[in-house]
Structures are given as C-alpha cells and as structure tokens.
C-alpha cells in the first residue's frame, strides 16, 4: 500500500538504493554500507567541532555515540539523522565564530535536511537558530539575524515541498506513522518504556551541563550545548506527553546521545584542563622545570587520546558483537526463514496475509503480500476502511487469505503480553488455557488504531493453523 510512514529523507535514500540495486538481498547490504558511511561522517564532524571548541579529549564523545549509532539503529533513519545533526552543529558553530553569507546558507540547508531526516529534529533546529542570534555578542546579533533571515527560503522551500507532497498524495500533513503514534487510543503512561539509553543520556547531560557551567561558559556552550539541551528537553516532553507508551523505541534518542557525547568530552576535558593547569603552576614559569612540566602534560594528553580512542573502538567491537552477531545474526539470506515461504506460500498457497507484528522481516524473506495491522507503515485509507467497513469486508475486497500471529503455545509471559490486551493498539487476542502453564489463541479482535474503533474479529481455529515456528510466528488460513 502507498505510504508516507517513513521519515522523508530516509525514504528517498532507501528508494534510491533499491532502484540502483534491484536484488533486495544485495540492496540491504548496500543500505548497511550507507549507514556505516553516515555514522563515520557523524563521528568525523563530531570530532571536528569538539576540536574547534578547544576540547582536550574529543574522542570521549565516541564512547557514547559510536556504540549507539553502530548497534542500535537497526536500519532506521537514526544514522542519517545523526550525520546531519553533527554536520548542522559543526556549521552552526563555524557560523557563530565567523558569520558569513555562505555559512548562513550552508547552515540553513543542513538544518532543513536535518528535519527531513527525522521530523522531530525540528526542536533542535529552532533552538539552534535562536541561539545563533541570542547566544552571540550584542554587536554581532543583528548581523547574524539578517544573514539567517536571508537564508530562510532554503528550509521553507524544502519543507513546503514535503508538506505539499503529503497533502497531495496522502491527504494529510502528518506522516501516517507519526499520526498513529501520537493519536492512537492505545496505552499511554507517563515516563514508561523509556529505554536505558534515554536515562543514561539524560544523566550525562545533566552532569555535563553542571560541570560546564562551573568551569566555562564559552561561545560553544551558549550557541551549541544549551540549545541542544533545550531541544532534548522539548523532545522528551513530546515523547512523554504525546507518543503512546508502546512506541517509545530506542532509535528516538540520537540527539540525546550526540549531546551526551559532546558534554562527556567537554566536561571531562574541562576537569582535566583544570587539574593540569593546577599542576603546571607548581613549576616556576621562568625556570627550566616549567617547560619540562608542560611537555609532560602534553605527553599525558596524547597518551589519554590514544587510550580513549582505543577504548571507544573496543567498546564498539564488544557491543557490535553482542548486538549484531549474537542477537541479530542472519545466516545465508537465500536460506533464511525457508520454512515460512515453503509451508505458507508454496504449499498452503497463502499470498496475502494480515500481520500482528514482524511485517518487514516476513515480507523481506517471502513473496507474500503483508498487511501490518498496526498501520504504522500503512495509510489513512486503511484506517478508514477498518473503521467503516470492518475487517471482513477488507479481507474480501483485498483477497486476504491468511493471518500471522504469535507462535503457539503461549507461556505465561506470552499470555500476559498478548491475551486480552490490545497489542500495538490494533489486535486483541482471545486465549484459551490448554494446561497449567500454556495457552492457545482462538480469535483476534481487530481495531482501527487511529480511533480504536472495533473492526470485527478473525477466527483462528486449530484446523486452519498451517504454520507454527517457536520464537517466530504462527499462520492461520482465513476462510471466507
């Protein structure tokens, strides 16, 4: 189905890659290469801006950002967002130091693309833009304001094109995924389901700001760190009060990790510089021992740089090994999940299936058409059809002949997750206990996620179960 469920720039990148590499298995490797290059670009820009700000130990930022960007993004727009965020921060600081028409235009372009790479980066862009005027010296503010105002048509043109395309093709200004996450009638509990990444980042940001405020309040702090912190705060409020609890996923926190990395490097460097400055005062500045002390301090800094770089790299290898190789490792792509394709598509001849979860993986490794019931990558028409005509009519019109649900039997944890709870605001399974510790599914109640309107039920009888793989999914045949 047609969708605007992607963040727009990532959608264009993926589309271009799959057009250039038609074989979808090879295209995924191409996506991985692009992600890696984007991550490297972010790390380079992050290092450049920290060095420009006089940070003694810039590689400390890698300790946080490198493992995060290389292991938790899972093919999402996070790497693209991080690359443009880092480039925008670098250009913003260059502009704050030496405002020119070229830098103003470059900043405007980077800021516009940053928002299109991930739409909630709008908080960061507005805060940075305001700080480039208010955070600079009084005589410079008017010049900065004029230069930035002249560059405003650049983001307006790019953003207007995206908004127009949404309105023209999809009848809404908001992407379907954002619309359903923000307005679904599903579970909403304040401060729940925030991953450990978010809490760690917030703790480092708070401590880092306190240390920087104690030791230095330079131009970088006023024009970069404070607006980034304000943007993170606005983003945190948006996630807490707007998004449903079940959609607060780990890849939302790219900006948080980027800022936490910056503040970790800057605050530790400030403490290190303060300590080495105190040590250097022990020596008489007019004696020979003074130069020896400064040389020793410089040598210590170089040793620390090498040690931190090595530690960051080893941290990356360790987390990459745990997350990518052991948890998400795939075998030969041409033999991955052969059971689903063989048993469901080739033997049972099911070709269009409703999916309660895992729609991307199932669609990638099979020729079946998959309809995700959560609707996040769907369309408003799908939500409208569910709410007005119901699931039975939808299945008949679209020739839906299968249903993908959780594997059976359900244990206690599975029962608590799926049975009588509206999973992803779209499916509620009715379960029957089969033993003291197991349950089975015999019906799925379907809801239009946007309005939580009941759309009818799908019977899931044992006789129609055609596939059941533990740890993966079960598949039922749907009869008219």
Domain assignment of residue 458, given as a range: 338-477
What is the domain count for the chain?
A: 2
Q: Any residues with CB less than 8 A from the CB of 417 and at least 6 apart, and which?
A: 423
Tell me: do 254 and 353 sit in the same domain: no
Tell me: do 314 and 253 sit in the same domain: yes
The segment with the largest mean pLDDT, out of 67-81, 309-323, 436-450, is: 436-450
Q: What is the pLDDT of residues 315-369, one digit of tens each?
A: 878 877 776 666 665 555 555 566 899 999 999 999 999 999 888 888 888 899 9
The answer as to whether 398 is a domain residue is: yes
Contact 121, 114 (CB under 8 A): yes
Question: What is the C-alpha to C-alpha distance for residues 382 and 82, in angstroms, rounded to an integer?
Answer: 32
Report the chain's mean pLDDT, rounded to a whole number. Answer: 88
Domain boundary among 274, 307, 327: 327
Q: Which residue has the higher pLDDT, 99 or 379?
A: 99
Q: Which residue has the higher pLDDT, 422 or 129?
A: 129
Percent of the chain scored above 90 by pLDDT?
58
Q: Which of 85-89, 150-154, 395-399, 420-424 has the lowest mean pLDDT?
A: 420-424
The answer as to whether 3 is a domain residue is: no
- Taking the alpha carbons of 405, 406, 408, 411 in that order, is the dihedral positive or negative? negative
**Could you tell me which residues are beta bridge partners of residue 372?**
355
Tell me: do 321 and 410 sit in the same domain: no
pTM assigned to the model: 0.86
Tell me: do 173 and 317 sit in the same domain: yes
Question: What is the C-alpha to C-alpha distance for residues 65 and 254, in angstroms, rounded to an integer?
Answer: 8
DSSP states of 315-358 as a string?
HHHHHHIIIIIIIS----TTTSSHHHIIIIIIIS---EEEESS-
116-128 b/e with 16+ CB inside 10 Å = b?
Answer: bbbbbbbbbbbbb
Tell me: do 87 and 21 sit in the same domain: yes
Q: What 3-state DSSP class applies to 154?
A: helix
Mean pLDDT computed over 400-405: 96
Mean pLDDT computed over 267-294: 69
Q: Packing angle between helix 122-134 and helix 226-241, nearest 10 degrees? A: 150
Contact 147, 99 (CB under 8 A): yes
pLDDT for 287: 52
Tell me: do 263 and 347 sit in the same domain: no
Domain boundary among 280, 298, 327: 327
Tell me: do 64 and 212 sit in the same domain: yes
The answer as to whether 49 is a domain residue is: yes
Tell me: do 247 and 294 sit in the same domain: yes
Question: What is the C-alpha to C-alpha distance for residues 81 and 87, in angstroms, rounded to an integer?
Answer: 10
Tell me: do 318 and 360 sit in the same domain: no
Q: Which of 84-98, 188-202, 286-300, 418-432 has the lowest mean pLDDT?
A: 286-300
Question: What is the C-alpha to C-alpha distance for residues 210 and 206, in angstroms, rounded to an integer?
Answer: 6
Contact 84, 260 (CB under 8 A): no
Domain boundary among 327, 350, 372: 327
Mean pLDDT computed over 40-52: 95
Question: What is the C-alpha to C-alpha distance for residues 146 and 140, in angstroms, rounded to an integer?
Answer: 10
Question: What is the C-alpha to C-alpha distance for residues 111 and 128, in angstroms, rounded to an integer?
Answer: 9
Residue 185 has pLDDT above 70, yes or no: no
Tell me: do 302 and 420 sit in the same domain: no
The answer as to whether 32 is a domain residue is: yes
Q: What is the pLDDT of residues 426-444, one digit of tens each?
A: 999 999 999 999 999 999 9
The answer as to whether 78 is a domain residue is: yes
The answer as to whether 214 is a domain residue is: yes
């Amino acid at each position: 189905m047609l969708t605007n469920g992607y963040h727009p720039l990532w959608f264009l990148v993926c589309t271009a890659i799959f057009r250039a590499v038609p074989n979808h298995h090879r295209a995924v490797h191409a996506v991985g290469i692009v992600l890696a290059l984007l991550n490297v670009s972010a790390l380079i820009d992050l290092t450049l801006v920290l060095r420009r700000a006089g940070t003694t130990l810039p590689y400390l930022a890698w300790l946080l950002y490198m493992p995060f960007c290389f292991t938790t993004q899972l093919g999402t727009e996070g790497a693209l967002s991080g690359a443009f965020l880092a480039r925008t921060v670098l250009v913003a600081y260059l502009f704050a130091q030496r405002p020119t028409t070229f830098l103003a235009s470059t900043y405007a372009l980077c800021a516009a693309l940053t928002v299109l790479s991930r739409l909630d980066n709008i908080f960061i862009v507005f805060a940075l833009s305001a700080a480039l005027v208010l955070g600079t010296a009084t005589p410079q503010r008017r010049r900065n304001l004029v230069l930035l105002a002249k560059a405003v048509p650049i983001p307006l043109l790019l953003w207007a094109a995206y908004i127009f395309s949404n309105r023209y093709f999809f009848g809404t200004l908001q992407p379907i995924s954002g619309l359903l996450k923000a307005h679904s009638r599903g579970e909403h509990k304040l401060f729940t389901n925030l991953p450990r990444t978010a809490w760690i980042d917030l703790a480092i940001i708070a401590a880092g700001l306190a240390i920087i405020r104690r030791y230095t309040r330079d131009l970088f702090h006023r024009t970069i760190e404070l607006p980034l912190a304000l943007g993170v705060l606005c983003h945190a409020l948006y996630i807490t009060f707007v998004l449903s609890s079940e959609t607060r996923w780990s890849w939302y926190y790219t900006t948080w990790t980027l800022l936490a990395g910056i503040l970790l490097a800057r605050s530790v460097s400030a403490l290190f510089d303060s300590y080495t400055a105190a040590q250097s005062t022990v020596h008489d500045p007019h004696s020979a021992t003074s130069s020896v002390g400064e040389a020793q301090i410089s040598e210590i800094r170089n040793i620390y740089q090498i040690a931190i770089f090595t530690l960051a790299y080893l941290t990356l290898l360790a987390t990459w090994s745990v997350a990518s190789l052991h948890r998400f490792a795939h075998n030969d792509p041409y033999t991955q999940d052969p059971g689903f394709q063989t048993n469901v598509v080739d033997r049972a001849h099911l070709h269009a299936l409703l999916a309660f979860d895992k729609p991307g993986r199932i669609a990638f490794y099979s020729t079946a058409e998959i309809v995700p019931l959560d609707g996040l990558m769907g369309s408003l028409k799908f939500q409208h059809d569910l709410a007005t005509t119901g699931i039975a009519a939808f299945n008949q019109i679209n020739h839906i002949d299968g249903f993908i649900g959780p594997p059976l039997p359900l244990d206690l944890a599975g029962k608590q997750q799926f049975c009588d709870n509206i999973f992803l605001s779209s499916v509620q399974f009715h379960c029957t206990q089969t033993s003291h510790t197991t349950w089975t599914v015999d019906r799925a109640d379907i809801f239009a996620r946007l309005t939580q309107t009941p759309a009818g039920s799908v019977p899931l009888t044992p006789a129609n179960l055609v596939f059941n793989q533990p740890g993966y999914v079960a598949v039922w045949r749907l009869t008219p």
